Structure 1
């Protein structure tokens, strides 16, 4: 089933706002906060984030996916950024797929 841009953006926003960690100042930070989504229409790229933010996001996503194969500390910064990006898009896809299942089951019940 083809996805609209709106559905994709909603799923990505959900992942970005719920990927959270505590920074060195003991503040709860989300990936959306770090990327400055919606601030001056100038979103940053995951690759632009500082290493501590990438580590926080990566660990948060590892907990979310229950996938602890590789420790964040062992990855180079560029590789870490790519892993975070891959995990964000994979989680957004799961959200969209779950929405499809919900819609399909509602249609099946209606029939």
Structure 2
């Protein structure tokens, strides 16, 4: 099923705002905060983030996906940023797929009634 841009943006926003970690100043930071989304700035790219933010986002995404195969410290910064980006989009796809499944379930229940 083809997704519209609004569904994609909602799913991405959900992933970016819930990917959180504690920075060196003991502040809770989200990936959305780091990318300055919603602050009237041109969105930055994940590749532009400092390594400390990439490590925080990566570990947060590892916890979310229960995937601890590769340590952040073992990757160079470019590889780490690409891995974070892949994980963000994979999580957004899971959210959209789950929404599709719940809509299909509701449609089936309505047809059965």
**Shorter-normalised TM range:** over 0.9
SS in 2 for 1:21: strand
Distance 2:109 2:96 in 1: 20
TM-score, normalising length: structure 2? 0.97
- Provide structure 1 residue ranges, at least 5 long, that are not aligned to the other structure: none
Shift of 1:44: 0.3
Shift of 1:39: 1.6
Question: Where does residue 38 of structure 1 map in the other structure?
Answer: 38
**TM-superposition CA deviations, 1:12-48 (whole Å, max 9, x none):** 0000000000000000000000000012241100000
Q: How does 1:45-84 map to 2 (within 5 A)?
A: 45-84=45-84
- Provide structure 2 residue ranges, at least 5 long, that are not aligned to the other structure: none
Shift of 1:110: 0.2
TM-score, normalising length: structure 1? 0.99
Question: Where does residue 8 of structure 2 map in the other structure?
Answer: 8
Root-mean-square deviation (Å)? 0.5
Distance 1:38 1:29 in 2: 15
